[in-house]
Amino acid sequence: MSHAPLLSVENLAFERDDSCLFSAVNFSVDAGDILQIEGANGSGKTTLLRLLTGSLQPSAGGISYLGQTLPQCRYNYLSDMLYIGHQPAVKLNLSAEENLRWMVATSAQSNDLSITDALTQVGLAGYSDIPCYALSAGQHRRVALARLLISEARLWYLDEPFTSIDKQGVAFLQSCLQQHVAGGGVVILSTHQDLALTGLRKYKLLPHAEGIA
């Protein structure tokens, strides 16, 4: 029996306002893979990530998880997935700690790392009880990225995760990604950051064509 990849995308297409944003998108990923989605602004990188999360539906084609289509395994798939969007999605009236508690409560799988330790590792020691409206954009991003340290999901979907973080934060996040895939996880991300990651593959979104590299 052939091995089914962890995630498979077949002939995926998406139309908006009667115009095709992209089509014929084909790739698969398995444990230990890092795939960077590339493309010009407006090419559909964020849309593709949202399709992978199930928050949008494709116009054609399909997505499979461990050999099953998403409608067949929706709960198991969503339980094994973590998405961090281009906006960090923190609640400004809550503190960093309260935000992370809320994020963890909505996640299906979490490890036993404490929220305090997660915030310390992302550089927010001493800021955990400060309302997020008093924090910088980079600190908002660090609150969101702290989820990576607590999540047990294998599939990480990250949309521009390096936005608003400094060189030290970039190095730390790349280390997190490398550790995740070394442990059998998968990362699919969009970024304009030059990455120094072992095993990185790239997929370029082109109108009506596929672009695996």
Tens-place pLDDT, residues 137-196:
999 999 999 999 998 899 999 999 998 888 888 999 999 999 999 999 999 999 988 888
Q: Which amino acid is at 49?
A: L
Alpha-carbon dihedral sign for residues 166, 170, 173, 179: negative
pLDDT averaged over every residue in the chain: 89
pLDDT in tens, 49-67: 999 999 999 999 999 999 9
Task: State residue 112's pLDDT score.
Answer: 80
Listed in order, the ranges of the chain carrying CATH 3.40.50.300 are: 1-80+155-161+176-213
Q: Fold for 1-80+155-161+176-213, please state it.
A: Rossmann fold (3.40.50)
Taking the whole predicted model, whether its pTM rises above 0.85 is answered as yes
pLDDT in tens, 83-128: 998 888 889 999 999 998 888 777 667 788 888 999 999 999 999 9
Closest-CA residue to 27 (of 44, 5, 58)? 5
